[in-house]
Amino acid sequence: MGRFSKMHGLGNDFVVIDARENAVEMTQARARAIADRHAGIGCDQLILIGNAHDADVSMQIFNADGSEVEACGNATRCVPLFVGRDVLIRTKAGLLDAKSVDGGASVDMGAPRFDWDAIPLAYPMDTLTMGASWEDLPAPATVNVGNPHVIFFVDDLDGVNFDHLGPLIEHDPLFPQRVNVNFAQVTGDNHIRLVVWERGAGLTRACGTGACATAVAAIRRKLTAGPVTVSLPGGDLTIAWTPGGTIQMTGPATHVFDGEADWARF
């Protein structure tokens, strides 16, 4: 039997497995089975905490479809709560420094990247105002914050058909590694409403990296000034960034319950 914790950041929920002492073999099929909300434990992402030679712990992230991804901001905030102390975390996106704060955690998410081949895109393009769009959406921006994001700033967030446009854009050939799709409405000098269609997970109640990418794009376009409060369906995150610096994300993290499971059954 293996132990796990169920955790969430603003309703973006995770099965967190501690593999530091007892290794857990994780395949795409097993991750997908564990994440299944009807036949498994159920989660948006599965998080595997392991050892690292250059950090306190390592973190592997698997989406609900079983695909492994580079970064997850909401999951990163859960790690200090899971481990019980401030931690330096080795991820596929690099080293992330996560510190506990009242009710959650603050994470240095590193510096955003804007070059077209760092997103990545299929061919060169301006990433601040792209020369491409979909249906009646305005020209978006793209940002890599450890994983790829495209951001659409719309006048009426409630009028967007997320279920249609999300998968259409996620799988567009312009994005060779697929993309997280952010639909944002600027509602004040320091406030953004946001809904995210996550790559490999679909609509979620919150996306930490999406909030980071959206705040960075808004500041670059001079639509907002930082720090920015980003309101997602699950609650608010505070994102601070100045050009040339790293992104600081602060928000809640919640431990729901602990359990045991036989991973060989998945």
Residues of 121-148 as b/e, b for ≥16 C-beta within 10 angstroms? Answer: beeeeebeebeeeeeebeebbbbbbbbb
Distance, C-alpha 252 to centroid of its chain: 14
Q: Give the residue from 40, 94, 119, 44 showing the smallest Cα distance to 74.
A: 44
Euclidean distance between CA atoms 191 and 180, whole angstroms? 21
Q: Considering 43, 72, 78, 212, which one is annotated as catalytic?
A: 72
Residues 193 and 215 sit within 8 Å (Cβ to Cβ): no
Rounded to whole angstroms, the Cα distance separating 88 from 104 reads 16
Respond yes or no: is residue 43 known to be catalytic.
no
Active site residue 72: yes
Amino acid identity, residue 173?
P
- Please identify which of the residues 43, 78, 207, 212 carries the catalytic annotation: 207
Cis omega (within 30 of 0) for bond into 124: no
Which residues are identified as catalytic? 72, 207
